[in-house]
């Protein structure tokens, strides 16, 4: 197989790091981006100088995204796969008690960041007549839950943006997939959501078997490894130990 170049946002932890490892195992080149440069450097040391290009990037900084893409060295410049994975949930308070700054940060990261990374890398893909944008959605984008307010809404944006990208990219050879996981353990997601409160962060994973970051990496690898005429529009996956609940009814 031809050597692929994968540009990953949020490669310093969780899904992003697992996706980097999965693609490195098949000999791909990885542009590994996130804010914590030292973590990316560890990934470079682990996977190899020729394999990982660590790039410090805050996806909320649109000018920085454009700079990073323009300045990619020739070996990493022809990006085949963009994995828009950087994202976060903050808090689980009801809308009338949530911190508006948290809401803004989720919008800036999960929506604006994803949108501008896509915009920066798409022209090259269209010009080359091939490419794949994999967006990290969530079951929270399809199914509401108490306290999911803006986080779920950002992931609904990711789903619909993915579908609209497909509409725009018809005939270009560029593919788009939205991956929508449920409960996944072994990442920093819950710790970030609860501001480092380890007890609250651990609660969702107690006495259950969640998905793993490696399950997500395998899914991303699978969607981009389909024959060129196949576009997997969306993949929703949950652990067997997770399912839908009934509608709630308030009774007086």
Residues near ligand 8X3, by CB under 6 A: 138-140, 148, 182
29 vs 193, beta carbon nearer ligand 8X3? 193
Q: 32 with 10: CB under 8 angstroms? A: no
Among 32, 59, 90, 121, which residue interacts with ligand NDP (rule: CB under 6 A)?
59
| Residue 151 designated active-site | yes
Half-sphere exposure of 191 (CA within 13 A, CB side): 8
Q: Decide if 244 contacts 143 (C-beta within 8 A).
A: yes
Distance between CA atoms of residues 55 and 44, nearest Å: 10
Q: 14-24 and 213-224 helices cross at what angle (nearest 10)? A: 50
Exposure pattern of 53-65 as b/e (b: 16+ CB <10 Å)?
A: bbbebebbebebb
Q: For residue 220, what are its two tokens?
A: 């991303």
Out of 7, 187, 220, 221, name the contact with ligand NDP by CB under 6 A: 187
Site for ligand NDP in 128-147 (CB under 6 A): 136, 138
Work out whether 219 is an interface residue with ligand NDP (CB under 6 A): no
Gyration radius (Cα) of the chain, Å: 18
Q: Smallest distance, Å, CB 252 to ligand 8X3?
A: 29
The verdict on 35 binding ligand NDP (CB under 6 A) reads yes
Using an 8 Å Cβ cutoff, are 152 and 144 in contact? yes
Q: Select the span of 51-59, 75-83, 125-133, 225-233 touching ligand NDP (CB under 6 A).
A: 51-59
Among 41, 42, 58, 236, binds ligand NDP (CB under 6 A): 58
CA-closest candidate to residue 113, choices 123, 105, 122, 103: 105
CA distance 17 to 117: 18
Shortest distance in whole angstroms from residue 223 CB to ligand 8X3: 18
Other CB atoms within a 10 A radius of the CB of residue 102 amount to 18
Q: Which of residues 91-120 bind ligand NDP (CB under 6 A)?
A: 109
Q: Using CB under 6 A, which of 21, 30, 82, 87 touches ligand NDP?
A: 87
Nearer to ligand 8X3, 15 or 23 (CB): 15
Closest CA to 234 of 148, 135, 165, 168: 135
Taking the complex as a whole, the smallest distance from the CB of residue 248 to ligand NDP amounts, in Å, to 22
Query: With CB under 6 A as the contact rule, which of the stretches 67-75, 82-90, 168-176, 218-226 interacts with ligand NDP?
Result: 82-90
Residues tagged active-site: 151
**Residues making contact with ligand NDP (CB under 6 A):** 9-10, 12-16, 34-36, 39, 57-60, 85-88, 109, 136, 138, 181, 183-184, 187-189, 192
């Amino acid at each position: 197989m031809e050597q692929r170049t994968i540009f990953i946002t949020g490669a310093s932890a969780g899904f992003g790091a697992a996706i980097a490892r999965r693609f490195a195992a098949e000999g791909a080149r990885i542009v590994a981006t996130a804010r914590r440069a030292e973590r990316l450097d560890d990934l470079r040391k682990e996977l190899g100088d020729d394999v990982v290009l660590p790039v410090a990037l805050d996806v909320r900084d649109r000018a920085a995204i454009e700079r990073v893409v323009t300045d990619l060295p020739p070996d990493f410049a022809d990006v085949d796969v963009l994995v828009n994975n950087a994202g976060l949930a903050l808090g689980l308070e009801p809308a009338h008690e949530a911190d508006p700054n948290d809401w803004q940060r989720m919008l800036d990261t999960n929506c604006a960041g994803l949108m501008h990374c896509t915009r920066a890398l798409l022209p090259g893909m269209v010009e080359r007549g091939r490419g794949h944008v994999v967006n990290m959605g969530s079951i929270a984008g399809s199914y509401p839950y108490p306290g999911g307010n803006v986080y779920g809404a950002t992931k609904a944006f990711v789903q619909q943006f993915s579908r609209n990208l497909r509409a725009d990219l018809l005939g270009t050879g560029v593919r788009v997939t939205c991956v929508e996981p449920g409960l996944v353990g072994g990442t920093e997601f819950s710790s970030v959501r609860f501001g480092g409160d380890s007890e609250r962060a651990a609660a969702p994973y107690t006495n259950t078997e969640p998905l793993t970051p490696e399950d997500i990496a395998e899914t991303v690898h699978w969607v981009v490894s389909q024959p060129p005429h196949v576009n997997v529009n969306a993949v929703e996956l949950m652990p067997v130990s997770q399912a839908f609940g009934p509608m709630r009814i308030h009774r007086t």
